[in-house]
Amino acid sequence: MSLEWMAWTPVTAGFFIGLGLVLTGMTIWEVVAPNVERRGLLPITTSRGDRLFIGILGSGYIFIAWTGLTDWKMWFVLPVCLVFILLSMRYA
Amino acid sequence: MEKWENNKAWFLVSPVIVIVAFSAILPLMTVVNYSVQDIFGPGNRVFVGTEWFKEILTSPRLHSALWRQFIFSGLVLLIEIPLGVLIALMMPKKGWGVSASLVMLALPLLIPWNVIGTIWVIFTRPDIGLLGATVNGLGIAFDHTASPTDAWITIVLMEVWHWTPLVALLAYAGLRAIPEAYYQAAKIDGASAWSTFRYIQLPKMRGVLTIAVLLRFMDSFMIYAEPFVLTGGGPGDSTTFLSIYLVKVALGQFDLGPAAAFSLVYFLIVLLFCWLFYQALQNVGRGEKT
């Protein structure tokens, strides 16, 4: 089956492979050490998956703000997003 | 045993996962791929990085459409939720009137969305439309094809007419679920109609009203067919909401790259609101359990 219609690029393929690996890692983590919901800085109880979701969604908004409001190089947004996801996983 | 049942549940939902993968995940992946390329045709494309995101995020037309969308959704919620609750409060509680009013309320919900647009195009025509001709006959100039204000009034009216019944039905279901003992206690305490509403009915309807707000916000935020049929986004760009603008870019100009980038930004906005409302619903659920 040809995937030409999906118009893949190495960058987007890398993005989705990364996302897939994160989800696989989270599944394995859940099996090995089942999640316990807790309350962090946000006024809601969050599970591990919730915190990852908050991190990824927040990263999307950081990307939008970076692109729409600044002329800074796009590569710098990647570590900022990674740090945001890690902070979300730890404190959200 | 429990483990086996859980695995069986996964097996049973697997067809849904496959369907969602083909109908949503693969197309979404394709949109991401398109958003970073300039597509000239099948097999003819150039990688442009985040150029389309930059273009659409700095586009004044997109900013206007976004504000318009928020104003529209806000207006619709401000009218539909109180009106729906009011209708639910006025509906009969027993007898043949219950079935009759439920059927009457459900009618607008059964009409296809593009037909709703066509109905209102005819209904508001200044020459032959019942509403348009009547308003013009009263000496008030009304033409939704020429005046942005009239176009907005017509679209908001149409949306309210179409979807308030849903809010009313949800609120009615919430009201019917309140045990009679609460009303009897209020009567013994000599509570006024307003107090009964404020301290019994409204808190008990919190769950269904949160669902109503969620459904109506998401639906109005993604509205397309009705305003497109009614005004086509005009006059000018005055009723060009996000989805109408997106279709204009994707199909009108055939700019697949910018349209894909726009779709992803739109998706992120919708996703954020979905999550916020989901959290609100969870909180309501927890509150009702305790």
**Is B42's CB within 8 Å of A8's CB?**
no
- Domain annotation covers residue B23: no
Q: Is residue B37 part of a domain?
A: no
pLDDT of residue B290: 44
**What is the average pLDDT across B96-121?**
92
Residue B19 belongs to some domain of the structure = no
**Which residues of chain B from 190 to 229 reach within 8 Å of chain A, CB to CB?**
none
pLDDT for residue B261: 94
Identify whether residues A17 and A43 lie together within a single domain: no
CB contact, 8 Å: A29 with chain B? no
* Residues A58 and A74 placed together within one structural domain of the fold: yes
Q: Which of A51-65, B1-15, B96-110 comes out lowest in average pLDDT? A: B1-15
* Same domain, yes or no: A5 and A30: yes
- Indicate the pLDDT class of residue B5, thresholds 50, 70 and 90: low
Q: Are residues A43 and A23 in the same domain?
A: no
State how beta strands A38-39 and B44-47 pair.
unpaired
pLDDT above 90: residue A58: yes
Whether A12 has its CB under 8 Å from any CB of chain B: the answer is: yes
Report whether B206 contacts B189 (CB < 8 A).
no
Which of B34, B54, B265 is closest, CB to CB, to A7? B34
Neighboring chain A residues of B39 at a CB cutoff of 8 Å: 7
Q: What is the pLDDT of residues B30-76, one digit of tens each?
A: 999 999 999 887 778 899 988 999 999 998 988 999 999 999 999 99
- What residue has token string 């979404």? B28
Nearest chain A Cα distance for residue B267, angstroms: 10
Instruction: For residues A47 and A71, state if they share a domain.
Output: yes
Cβ–Cβ of A44/B283 closer than 8 Å?
Answer: yes
Question: How far apart are the C-alpha atoms of B151 and B219, rounded to whole Å?
Answer: 20
Domain count, chain B: 1
Please indicate whether, in this complex, the C-beta atoms of B272 and A61 are within 8 angstroms of each other: yes
Confidence of residue B180 (pLDDT cuts 50, 70, 90): very high
Cβ distance of A68 and B268 shorter than 8 Å: no
Instruction: Flag if A44 and B279 touch (Cβ within 8 Å).
Output: yes
Residue A42 has pLDDT above 90, yes or no: no
> Does residue A31 belong to the interface with chain B, where contact is any CB pair within 8 Å?
no
Please report whether residue B133 resides in a domain.
yes
Q: Domain with B79 in it: what CATH number?
A: 1.10.3720.10
> How close is the nearest chain A Cα to the Cα of B255, in Å?
15
Average pLDDT over every residue of A60-73? 91
* Contact status, residue B31 vs residue A7, Cβ threshold 8 Å: no
What is the rounded CA–CA span in Å between residue B72 and residue A82? 36
CA distances from B68 to B64, B162, B233, B239 (A): 6, 20, 11, 7
- A76 and A44 fall within a common domain: yes
What whole-number distance in Å separates Cα of residue A48 and Cα of residue A54?
10
Does A11 reach chain B within 8 Å, measured CB to CB?
yes
Name every chain A residue with its beta carbon within 8 A of the beta carbon of B283: 44
pLDDT given at position B6: 66
CA distance B119 to B95: 32
A19 lies in the same domain as A55: no
Contact A12 B33 (CB under 8 A): yes
What ipTM goes with this model?
0.91
Residue B141 has pLDDT above 60, yes or no: yes
In a domain, B17, yes or no: no
Question: CB of B243 within 8 A of CB of B224?
Answer: yes
Task: Provide the domain limits for residue A60.
Answer: 37-92
Tokens of A52: 């990852």
The answer to the question of residue B222 being in a domain is yes
Domain count for chain A: 2
Average the pLDDT over B206-234 and give the result: 90
Q: What is the pTM assigned to this prediction?
A: 0.83
pLDDT tens digits for B253-290?
Answer: 888 899 999 999 999 998 998 888 888 877 776 665 54
- CB atoms under 10 Å from CB of B42, counted, come to 9
Compute the average pLDDT of residues B109-131. 92
Contact A57 B271 (CB under 8 A): yes
Shared domain check, A47 and A58: yes
pLDDT band at A14 (very low <50, low <70, confident <90, very high): very high
CA B60 to chain centre: 24
Please indicate, yes or no, whether residues A50 and A75 belong to a single structural domain of this protein: yes
Q: Which domain does B98 fall in, by range?
A: 61-289
User: Are B53 and A68 an interchain contact pair (Cβ–Cβ within 8 Å)?
Assistant: yes
